[in-house]
Each structure stands twice: as C-alpha cells, then as structure tokens.
Structure 1
Amino acid sequence: MNWEQLLSLKRYGDTHKRLRKEQDETRLGFEVDYDRVIFSSAFRSLQDKTQVVPLSKTDFVHTRLTHSLEVSVVGRSLGRKVGTKLLQKYPHLKEVHGFQFNDFGAIVAAAALAHDIGNPPFGHSGEKAIGEYFKIGKGIHFQSKLSSKEYQDLCDFEGNANGFKILTENRKGVEGGLRLSYATLGAFMKYPKQSLPKKPTTHIADKKYGIFQSEKDAFADVANELGLQKHGEGENIRYARHPLTFLVEAADDICYTIIDFEDGINLGLIQEEYALEYLINLVRDTIQTEKYNSLQHREDRLSYLRALSINTLIEDAVRIFLENEEAICAGNFSVGIMDKSKYKAQIDDIIKISVDKIYKSDEVIEKEITGYHVLQYLLDTFITAVENHHHDALSNYDRLILKVLPKNVDYTTDHLYKRLMNITNYISRLSDSKAVILFNKLTAKTV
C-alpha cells in the first residue's frame, strides 16, 4: 500500500480525480468530511447514547457524542504528529502532490469523529440484544430464508458495519450518503471484512467485521481506489487496514481507557485515592510533583492527571506507529498500536478496575437489562408488522405500527434481507431515551 493512493480525496460519484495541490486551502476536502459528520443527524443522536452508563442523568458522565469529540481531538493530534514525520520520510508527498501534515490529522479526526456513529442504543449490550433476537429469539426463523452471510450480519449485529452503512448508503436524492472522501472512509474501517468467515486469522483487522452484505460493493470500490491489500478469494475477500485506521483505534483506546476511568471516579464507583494512584503510575516519568501537590480540588487533580496521561499515551502511540510504519503499510502489523505500548501494564490495570467497578456495576447491568427488553420488543413489533404487510396479512394494529416508521424507511422491498436490515438500522439509530419513549408509547408502560 502506498500513501499517494491511501490519501485519496475521491468521493462517491466522482468522475475525475481530486488532486491535493488543486484544493482550496481554506476548506480542504478532508476537513469537509469532518463538517459533514458533525452536521449529520446520526452524529447528533450520539448525545443521548450510552458511553459508560445507559440513561445517565448526571452532567459529567460521557455520552457517545462527547466521547467521539474527544477521540477526534486525540486522533487529530496523532495524525498531525505522524504526518509531520511521514512527509520528512516521503518528501514527494508534499513536493509533488501537495500534501501537508494537517491532512493526516484531518483524515484521522473525521474518521474518529464518526467511529461510533453506527452504535445502537445501550452500547455494546444493544448490539447483543439485536443479534440475539435473530440468533436465539423470535427472529431465528429467518435463518432458512437468508444466505449464511446475510443471517450472520443480523446475528452478530456490528456497530462498525452499521456505521459504514450510515456514512455511505444511497437514498432517493442522496447518493453515496455523506459522500466522505475515500481516505476517511478507509481510515474509519477497523474491520475491513464481511461477517463470514469469523476470525479467519488472529490479525486485529479480522477480530470482528465491518461490512454488511448490503455495502460490500461500496466498500470494494473504496478499497480498490485506496489500494488496500487483498486477502482471501472469491466471496471471502477481505482487506488489510488503511494504515491511519491504527491511529483512529489508538485514539479510541486512549480515550476510553482514561476517560471511562474518570467517569467511574466521578460516579463514585471508584475511590478517588485508589484511582488517582493508578493514573500517577502511568505518568510517573512526566508528572510535576510540586504542581500536582498544589492542586486543592479533586476535579483539578483529576483534570491534570487526565491531560498528562492522554499526552503520554499520544507520544507513545506516535512512536509505535512510526517505528512500524513500513510493516503497517505492508499489512504485516497484526495488533493494535496500544498493545505495543510501553505502558501496557498500567493500561491493563486501569481497564481491569474499570471492568470490575464500572462496566459490571449494578447501575450499568440493570439499565442494560432494560435495553435488552426495549430493543427486542421494538424489533419484534416492527418486523412483525413489516412481514405481515409483505404477506398481505396486516392487522389494524400492524397498520398503525407502520405509520410510526419514518417515510425514509423502506419496508416494501421484496428482498427479505433488505427489509430486515432497514428495520434494524432504523432501530439502531434511535437514541437511548427515544427507544425507551417509543417502547413506552407502544406498550403504555413506564420502564
């Protein structure tokens, strides 16, 4: 893979190449990507989607939106620092093609901003709730009517694949979705493969999947334009990651490691003295002890350690990427960047306590249970109505349910997979509160 292709400014529907040296410096194509994501309705809905605690009413706990903004800021720093060094290593990128260091930052920032845009309500438990409806719930009878990959898309419903669908799907009058640059779409794709085969290798890019059957041709077009390395044959082709994807992933890893931990402290789930010691262990080489000891309030101490921790991990991630850049571009770097961090032991300690004290807390578990019930009820209600419509067996209740669906949800297609995916995608776009409100309206109950 080469950087000239990987930095493609092409967008869906382009009939000619977009050249970096011909770009308007006041509004670069990669910066337009960022703007299009941030103004999208799918991004706005993240303000009411779970990051740590579902349906949290406190003002200091992160939502998917605040988390995404923070990941984007970290990603921008990573991209700019890496871009500066890459332009020194490959001067023709600047001298011949006109690329600047901030182009790398803009691509990573835009992809990082969108990295959670496909997550359903209630976080990862929402993904599982959707998947289990088809795998072991009422939707299991669809298995015999779908191809193996179509069924697997639903059984292992994946927010990453849903995100690519949201960013690229065609609708009447809206061809190519947000029409992001192919460089940003490539950097967004953490798992450039279809749902089957599952985990064909131990490579980080094969850990999950990122392409629904409905978008496989769209991603093949992106991958071919970017020159992503192909693996496998025929229907089982998968791709190497875009190198900048490693920076998007690192930005996410850095933020959730540090900031989820911070939320746990603010929620009182982790004792302050105990928790701050973990952060101090991470920044022991750079902390200014006199300055830290002068801070009188917990908020100030936590803010100082958070900023220092994130900066420490950014510098380490840049070092790892640059040391392994050639292997990454050859598709031979098989783990996440932070797995090679010299601070991995400290990171693992922080993640372990977050899992024990936050992700498994009673408040989180109880609200995830609520999420399961809400999402599976909504799926069954809407899918039943849609299927009854298709088979000319509508009840009056079904007719009322179908009127609730937005007009842009196509439930009349003759293709079963598309009907199921359109309904699932509609429900996945609901915010946590909107899903609960809709559930309450349909059941006349209060959750």
Structure 2
Amino acid sequence: MVENTSLPSIWSSARRPRPGSEQPTSNEGQTPDSPSVGDQRSKFQHDYDRLLFSTPVRRLADKTQVWPMDENDSVRTRLTHSHEVANLARSIGVRVYLNSPEEFEHSGIGNDALLNVIQPILLATGLGHDLGNPPFGHQGEAAISRWFENRQNWIFSKTNEGGTQLEQSQAVPEQLRLEFTRFDGNPQALRLLTRLQTHVDRVGLDLTAATLAAGLKYPNSFANVDKKNPIRKKGGYFSSEMDVVNWVREKTGLKEGQRHPLTWIMEACDDIAYSVLDVDDVLKKQVMSPDDVLVVLQRSLENDSTVSRLLLRFEDVEKKPFRADAQRDIKIQYLRAFFIEALVTHASEQFIRNLGPIFDFNHQKPLMDSSELCEALKTIAKNYAFKNPQVLKAEALGAAALDGLMSAFWSAISDRSDLDDIESRKRTARSSYIYSLISPNYVYQACVPNESCSEANGIRYRELRLLTDMISGMTDTYAMRLWKEIQAIPDVSSP
C-alpha cells in the first residue's frame, strides 16, 4: 500500500486538509467515525464503508434506473444498479490485476494492492457513480437542463424575468452557464461527496484522493468539453469544486483530461449493467421473453458464440419437465449469466490489451465500444424498455413535476428582502415554507465563499447551485409527493 502521501501518486491515500490547516487532523484522516485502534482496514476500504452507510446511497433505493416508481420489487432501482456495477468492477479488477500485476506495481502500489487498494476503490466508485443523478434518471437531468434553457435570457443575468440587470459580480459568467443548461449527474456526485454531506470539518464524506480521482468519469471542466473525445464529451466537475479537483490532482499527479486507470473499469461496468441488466428488467416485466431476446440477437449478430451456446442451453431446459413459468425463469438466469461473463471477459481483455496507453493516460476509447454484443443489448433495452409507454408516461409526469418544483424552489430562494443575503426574510408565507424544506447543509454551502474560484462566488451562481442541490437530492417518490403538496398551496403573488 501507498503510505507516503507527500508525493503525487495515482494511488494517493491522502485526505483533504482541514480548514485553516495544510494537513488533515492528527492521525491523518481521523474523524469522529474513524475506526478504533486495531482496525486493519486500508483507507480505501474506509472509503467504501463510508459510502455504503451514507444517506445518499440509501436514497438510491427510490431513484429510477429504467422503470420509474415501479411496483415490481424484482425491477432494479439506482441502488441495485450501483451495487451491481460495484460488484462487476471488483470482478474485472481482479482479472486485470492477476493478469498483469507488474504494470500495477510499476504505477506505485505493492503486492497487497488487490485487496487493500484496487478492490475497495472499484467498489467505492461503482457504488457512488450515480449519486448525483436527480429523480427520474436521465430524464431528470434533461428536465433540469431544459428549465434553465427556457430561462437563459434572464436567469443568469437579471434579478427576475423582466427585471433589472445584475451587476457583473453578481451574474453567472458566460463560461459557467453550461453547468446549468447542460446539467449532469456526474459533477453533482462529486459535489455531493465532497461538499454536501455533513462533516465536522466540512469535507463531505472525506474520501481519499485516489478514490475521488477514480470516480471522475469526465476529467475536465465544462469549458474544456470536446464532443469528439469520449472521455471529455461532458463536463466532469462544477467550478464550485475546482479547489477539490486541484487538490486531487496535486496528490495524484493527474492533469486536466487525464483519467485514472480504474475509471475505465467503472465506466465499462456501467455499460455492462445498462446493457445486460436493463434487458433483464425487460424480461422481469414480461415485455419480452428470453426466446424473443435470442431471436433479436440472432438477427443483429452473426455467428455470436454466446448466443449459440445459449440456444443449446435453452434446448436443454425445454427437455426438462418444468412448468412454462419455471422454464422462463431458468432461461432468464442463463441469459444474465452468459451475457455478463461474455462482457466482463471483453472488458478485461480490452483493459489488458491497452494497459500501456491506459497507465500513460493516452487511451481514449471506452472498453465496451468494440463489443457488438453490448451494443446489441443496449439497442434491445432502448427499444423495449426506454421506449415502453409505461416508462415514457412516468418520465413525462416526472419531468412535469421537476419543472414545477424548480420554479417553486427558485421562487422561494429568490423571493427575499435582501438580494445579497440568501437567508434573508422571505416575502411570502408560501416562499418561507418551501425554503424551509431545503437542507441546512445545502444552504450553508450556498452562503460560504469559494476561495478557489471567484467566478463561482457570485450570488446568482450560488443561488442556482442551491436550487440544483435541492432538486437533484430528491427521490422519485418524494419529488412527486412534494409537487402535489406545493400545488395545493395558493400563490397569492400570482395574478
């Protein structure tokens, strides 16, 4: 394991300095929830444990994977999806390390790295990769982005619609506006992990530099987005977390646009889960049968060995004296197991084949981009899950609720007596009530200045960040229930 945190290392176990100090508290990284003497866990194992027991992870149980607010307990939520991604990542990590331990050791870790460094980092990043997603998944991201796009002629630069121009120091600079009009859950996850979780020293969950680096799927700012580059096609962090990113890079030696090697594995496992396990949910919902899936795959894939092997297994199942429903369940299990094995093998082989460029930070192509099976399964999920009328209806209802909630909370945040003080007295009882629902920790973060990025200190940027913090932290059920409650409260200021 790496114990010397003074030198840059992609495996750095350093934790962030405490306010007013260049170093963490005594017994580096110790907090009130730190383990007792004799605890043999590595700092990366601490990271995973902190995530596992955190409130945001539990909230994932009520956030959409594909089927919003579904009553079928067998259908996946963001929580089950994240656990599966974490498990797949650990499996691939084991395969690639055991195949080429010398490459990992050359990068700065010892022979205990698999257990104490690689596995816990992969488990942590898999579990935490979707924490920033708002209610209703990617449709929630789109709804938030659309709300800002529809108001971009005034929301960033004026007191209100039709109002006066904000002073330059108060308005949101042009270069930061994409953080809202292209809102994404990935940078929100980093903010949640490092800012929004309550901590005695205001460092969120206080994760290590290596774990934070591995979780940075897009290692670039919104200003440096490159649609042609797969690892820079989106903004990976908000300006409000620039100080955290700078600290991570100081400790790991990574630069803008450079991915941590383990990030490739986490991304591949997310792709595997989206392909295989979203199709598994389609089968659980009985939208398709296992035989239907194989028919579709036979048409799109020629002479695929996994499909051929599954056909033989299906024939064996049909020869057994099982009832039709039991045969269906057994076939679903075979589909899931065979597809996961095939895709995990593909991801492992791609990682091993590209070890040099990956550890030199020159690799650009996602591991699963060359898998025809993965692409074919994603197409099935797209056509039979994401385009399912039940899913589309729930997403439409969720998008309408989020749009209404965005407007209601914006009114509550902005409808106050003192423009320069976010916490000043609200003008109406309705605004006071809605504002009271916002987490005090979110409010605190909106009120404290950010010394690392003066551009993110403007009052309007901090107001809008408070708005997105509140909305993205909601679960599906809470968002729908709250929207119904708020609709019942008259807005006496409306004409």
TM-score interval for Structure 1 and Structure 2 normalised by the shorter chain: 0.7 to 0.9
2:57–2:128 CA contact under 8 A, matched in 1: yes
Change (3 A) 1:90 1:351: closer
Change (3 A) 1:181 1:393: closer
| Cα distance in structure 1, aligned partners of 2:296 and 2:316 | 16
1:392-441 Cα shifts (integer Å, max 9, x gaps): 67122212222222332317737221121112111101100000111111
| Cα distance in structure 2, aligned partners of 1:319 and 1:419 | 46
Matches within 5 A, 1:207-246: 207-228=233-254, 230=255, 238-246=256-264
Of 254-263 and 84-93, deviating more is 84-93
Identity, in percent, stands at 30
**Is it true that 1:249 corresponds to 2:267 in the alignment?**
yes
| Cα distance in structure 1, aligned partners of 2:143 and 2:347 | 34
- 1:399 alignment partner in structure 2: 432
1:93–1:99 CA contact under 8 A, matched in 2: no
1:11–1:182 CA contact under 8 A, matched in 2: yes
2:219–2:259 CA contact under 8 A, matched in 1: yes
By how many angstroms is 1:283 displaced? 1.6
Among residues 337, 359, 362, which one is paired with 1:329 in the alignment?
A: 359
Of 81-90 and 281-290, deviating more is 281-290
| Cα distance in structure 2, aligned partners of 1:305 and 1:366 | 29
Change (3 A) 1:13 1:86: farther
- 1:316 alignment partner in structure 2: 346
By how many angstroms is 1:357 displaced? 1.5
1:322-356 Cα shifts (integer Å, max 9, x gaps): 1101111222211100113xxx2222222112211
**Is it true that 1:355 corresponds to 2:378 in the alignment?**
no
By how many angstroms is 1:12 displaced? 1.5
- 2:155 alignment partner in structure 1: 142
By how many angstroms is 1:443 displaced? 0.9
Change (3 A) 1:287 1:359: closer
| Cα distance in structure 2, aligned partners of 1:275 and 1:282 | 15
| Cα distance in structure 2, aligned partners of 1:204 and 1:163 | 19
1:292–1:301 CA contact under 8 A, matched in 2: no
Letter in 2 for 1:387: S
**Is it true that 1:65 corresponds to 2:79 in the alignment?**
yes
| Cα distance in structure 1, aligned partners of 2:99 and 2:200 | 42
1:185–1:222 CA contact under 8 A, matched in 2: yes
SS of 2:415's partner is helix
**Is it true that 1:132 corresponds to 2:146 in the alignment?**
yes
- 1:53 alignment partner in structure 2: 67
By how many angstroms is 1:270 displaced? 2.4
TM-score (norm 1): 0.88
- 1:122 alignment partner in structure 2: 136
Letter in 2 for 1:80: V
**Is it true that 1:185 corresponds to 2:185 in the alignment?**
no
**Is it true that 1:268 corresponds to 2:301 in the alignment?**
no
- 1:440 alignment partner in structure 2: 484
| Cα distance in structure 2, aligned partners of 1:393 and 1:442 | 17
Letter in 1 for 2:270: D
Instruction: Give unmatched runs, 5+ long, in structure 2.
Output: 30-36, 158-170, 299-303, 420-424, 448-457, 490-495
Change (3 A) 1:187 1:282: farther
By how many angstroms is 1:158 displaced? 0.7
SS of 1:410's partner is helix
1:292–1:304 CA contact under 8 A, matched in 2: no
1:278–1:350 CA contact under 8 A, matched in 2: no
Letter in 2 for 1:11: R
**Is it true that 1:38 corresponds to 2:49 in the alignment?**
no
- 1:6 alignment partner in structure 2: 10
**Is it true that 1:196 corresponds to 2:223 in the alignment?**
yes
Instruction: Give unmatched runs, 5+ long, in structure 1.
Output: 231-237
| Cα distance in structure 2, aligned partners of 1:163 and 1:91 | 30
Of 109-118 and 296-305, deviating more is 296-305
- Greater C-alpha radius of gyration: 2
Change (3 A) 1:32 1:285: farther
| Cα distance in structure 2, aligned partners of 1:218 and 1:253 | 27
| Cα distance in structure 2, aligned partners of 1:41 and 1:285 | 44
Of 68-77 and 30-39, deviating more is 30-39
Letter in 2 for 1:274: D
SS of 2:122's partner is helix
**Is it true that 1:283 corresponds to 2:306 in the alignment?**
yes
TM-score (norm 2): 0.80
1:200-259 Cα shifts (integer Å, max 9, x gaps): x6221111111011001211211221111x3xxxxxxx3211111000001111111000
By how many angstroms is 1:97 displaced? 4.1
| Cα distance in structure 1, aligned partners of 2:224 and 2:486 | 38
SS of 2:73's partner is coil
- 2:422 alignment partner in structure 1: none
**Is it true that 1:152 corresponds to 2:178 in the alignment?**
yes
Q: Following TM superposition, where does structure 1 have runs of at least 4 consecutive aligned residues deviating by more than 6 angstroms?
A: 16-19
More helix by share: 1
Letter in 1 for 2:200: G
SS of 2:123's partner is helix
Among residues 224, 231, 238, which one is paired with 1:205 in the alignment?
A: 231
By how many angstroms is 1:285 displaced? 6.7
By how many angstroms is 1:99 displaced? 3.7
1:274-322 Cα shifts (integer Å, max 9, x gaps): 1144578462476593587236421121112211211221122111101
Change (3 A) 1:354 1:93: closer
| Cα distance in structure 1, aligned partners of 2:292 and 2:45 | 41
Change (3 A) 1:18 1:401: closer
Change (3 A) 1:292 1:189: farther
- 1:233 alignment partner in structure 2: none
Letter in 1 for 2:258: A
**Is it true that 1:173 corresponds to 2:226 in the alignment?**
no
Change (3 A) 1:405 1:282: farther
Instruction: Say what the alpha-carbon RMSD is for the aligned residues.
Output: 2.8
Of 354-363 and 5-14, deviating more is 5-14
Change (3 A) 1:24 1:11: farther
Among residues 403, 413, 417, which one is paired with 2:461 in the alignment?
A: 417
| Cα distance in structure 1, aligned partners of 2:380 and 2:252 | 40
Of 70-79 and 395-404, deviating more is 395-404
- 2:113 alignment partner in structure 1: 100
